[in-house]
Amino acid sequence: MSAENLGTRVVIGLKAALAVVLAAGAAVLAVDVADWRYVRADLTAAHSNTLDDAVRDVVDKLPEPVTVDVFLRPLAQPYLGVFQEARDRVLEWLSVLQQARRDRVDVRVHDPKDFEEIQERQRELHTEGSNKVVVACGERRAELELFGELCTVDWGNPSDERFVRYLVEQGIPGVVDRNWRQGLPFRPAQLGDFLGDELLTQALLKVSSGKAPKVYFAKGHGEPALDGAEPTELGRMKAALERDGFELAEWDPLKAPGVPSDCEVLALIGPHQPYQERTRDAIRAYAENGGRVLAAPDLSELDEQRAGGVVDVLRAAPFGIVTRPGIVCQPFVGYSGEKIDGTEQCAWLLVDEHGMTPGDQIAESLRARNRRVQFTFTPSFEGGNVDSDSSLLLGASTSPQGSWRDLDRDFRFNPAKGEKRGPFALVVDKTLKPVKKDDGSVEQGRLVAVASAFFFDNQSLDVNRDLVLNAFNWLAAREYQLRVKPLARSESFLDLQNSRARPILGYSLWLALPGVCAAIGLAVFLRRRN
């Protein structure tokens, strides 16, 4: 081989190497430009990589960067497919959020195999479990479940009762035995609506709002323990409220007669002894000056006709709500389909979406997502004929059609004894008369009355958690009724029947591609000839 040929080959090799380096550099530059945070262009036809303007405004106003922790664990068959769809929708939205505002949002997707790392991080966040998203900003937290909140799922008919038990063991809310019907053909689970756009934005709003709202729970009158772990105590509700960004404290009116000045929500849940008159006066003055009150009487107040408790507080101005005697019952359906009464099970009420008042601020989200709540041995409410400046009585949640108010505890409908059919109001929310403060600001008191203190206890919280959190958030003026346009799903396909793709593809294959090849061949021929 001559030196001249060797030199030529070296030059060609260097040019090829240089071309590879330049191509790699161009690729890196293209990736870097595509990842540029200052100037971005969404080239998708459906603008699926663009955040809603409302979301961008929320993120831009965050007081400090937000961390979004994603804890996902795959479900077993036959639910793996629906899990993957739900996971992809959530991660797609979070990816768009992080790419748009990387300096404000840090998304951390935890690998389910890193068990120790997940446990450590969940201890830091004061949470537990899987298939959830936790949004944190400083000390404030907001949690969202993958199933039932971010995504609605029709769990189908798995053809085997074991699969229903599996879903219940996974802690998926809203799964009951009605999801399985023996003898019916198999029907796979299907993903329904994706609500992550709105709910994740609301979570960002929650954690970005200044200081945590402070809730005081009245104590000293036989109330269930706020941090207790017994079935009838409130430890699980306390943990759920703290995870939702509330600060909790206790108020003992026997030691401090007035409601604390920093109280944003006052909770009166299940006292077993009457309040002193000065305590009732303090509660009334607090509400009349724009305070927010949550009240739930214990059933023993009505049974013992005990005066001076939550029932009397609700009856007086400015609330005007009468708690009716008797417990609300409904017949339950037996295994053969017949309706059964005369048993204690009739006093366990499951209120579905039909018992949620449309448009009500604390019940609408549950109604829209087909969620349910549970009441046990509960009385009911009626509007009171008292001198009240409050608005009309509005039942946020009512008992099912066909229910009745049982007066003699035989769990049977006896119209001869004065028992009447429902539905009856079980949860009431109302706003009070606005009050103008000395500084010119206007405060408007709010009330949420729940007919039974059992609604909040540890054994009921799994079913009632959403309505409980909605009630406290509404009282604290954290409604977050933000509406966000859902992102369009990213889909890449050629519609050859209903678009211009077919003629373009045809001309490209039959004319353009052969024409380019012919032009290249002609150019090579002319160059060699010269």
Following DSSP, what letter does each residue of 459-495 receive, concatenated? TTHHHHHHHHHHHHHHHTT-------PPPPPP-----
Q: Judge whether residue 100 has pLDDT over 70.
A: yes
First to last CA, the chain: 27
Q: What is the mean pLDDT of the chain?
A: 81
pLDDT score at 62: 75
According to the model, what pLDDT value does residue 277 have?
A: 94
Query: In sequence order, which residues have a C-beta less than 8 Å from that of residue 440 and are 6 or more positions away?
Result: none
Secondary structure (3-state) at 217 = strand
Please provide residue 21's backbone torsions phi and psi, each rounded to the nearest 5 degrees.
-60, -45
pLDDT value at residue 325:
87
Q: What is the DSSP letter of 12?
A: H
Q: Which two tokens stand for residue 496?
A: 């050859």
Residue 103 pLDDT greater than 70, yes or no = yes
Q: Does 173 score more than 70 pLDDT?
A: no
Amino acid residing at 42: D
Which pLDDT score is estimated for 51? 67
Q: Residue 437, SS3? A: coil
Q: 130-155: per-residue pLDDT in tens?
A: 899 999 887 778 888 898 888 888 88
Considering only residues 185 and 245, tell me which one the structure prediction assigns the higher pLDDT: 245
Identify the residue with better confidence: 458 or 334.
Answer: 458
pLDDT at 210: 63
Q: How far is CA 504 from the centre of its chain?
A: 46
User: How many residues would you count in the chain?
Assistant: 530
The mean pLDDT of 313-326, rounded to a whole number, is 91
Confidence of residue 109 (pLDDT cuts 50, 70, 90): very high
Q: Label residue 149 exposed, middle or buried (CB < 10 Å: 0-12, 13-18, 19+).
A: buried
pLDDT in the model for residue 26? 66
Cβ atoms within 10 Å of 407's Cβ, excluding its own = 15
pLDDT for the residue numbered 367: 84
The contacts of residue 384 (CB under 8 Å, 6+ apart) are 315, 319, 320, 321, 322
Alpha-carbon torsion, ordered 408, 414, 418, 420, to 10 deg? 110
Quick: pLDDT tens for 364-391: 888 877 788 999 999 999 875 444 433 3
Amino acid found at 113: K
% of the chain at pLDDT higher than 70? 81
Give the per-residue pLDDT at 134. 92
Q: Which long-range contacts (CB under 8 A, 24 or more apart) does 223-228 make?
A: 223/269, 223/270, 223/271, 223/272, 224/269, 224/270, 224/453, 224/457, 226/250, 228/458
Tokens of 190: 């299907």
Cβ burial 278-300 (10 Å sphere, 16+ → b, else e): ebbebbbebbeebbbbbbbbbbe
- pLDDT value, residue 70: 94
Q: Give helix 53-60 / helix 80-100 axis angle, nearest 10°.
A: 60
- Where do we find the tokens 């003898």? 183
CA pair distance 289, 37, nearest whole angstrom: 48
> What is the distance between the alpha carbons of residues 421 and 404, in angstroms, rounded to a whole number?
4
Yes or no: say if 252 and 477 are a contact pair by the CB < 8 Å rule: no
- Quick: pLDDT tens for 181-214: 555 677 788 888 888 888 888 888 778 766 788 9
C-alpha to C-alpha distance for 102 and 430, rounded to whole angstroms? 41
Q: How many helices (H) and strands (E) does the chain have?
A: 14, 21
Cα distances (Å, whole numbers) of residue 39 to 31, 35, 98, 234, 420: 13, 9, 15, 51, 67
What confidence score (pLDDT) does residue 452 get? 93
Please report the pLDDT score of residue 388 as a whole number.
40
- What is the predicted pLDDT for the residue at 387? 40
Tell me what pLDDT residue 389 has.
39
Question: CA-CA distance, 301 to 280, in Å (whole number)?
Answer: 16
Pair 290, 368: CB distance under 8 Å: no
Nearest to 365 by CA among 193, 178, 113: 193
The overall pTM is greater than 0.75? no
Predicted pLDDT at 451? 93
Q: Are 85 and 150 in contact (CB under 8 A)?
A: no
Residue with tokens 């400083």: 138
Rounded distance, CA 521 to CA 514, Å?
10
Q: Are 43 and 189 in contact (CB under 8 A)?
A: no
Using alpha carbons, select from 130, 179, 147, 134 the residue that is nearest to residue 82. 147
Query: What pLDDT sits at residue 371?
Result: 81
- 102 or 456, higher pLDDT: 456
Pairwise pLDDT comparison (48 vs 498), residue with the higher score: 48
What is the token pair recorded at 451? 């007919």
Q: According to the model, what pLDDT value does residue 33 have?
A: 55
What is the structure's pLDDT at 36?
52
Q: What is the per-residue pLDDT for 230?
A: 93
Residue 171 backbone phi and psi in degrees, to 5: 75, 20
5-41 pLDDT, tens digit per residue, is 677 777 777 777 777 777 777 666 665 555 554 555 5
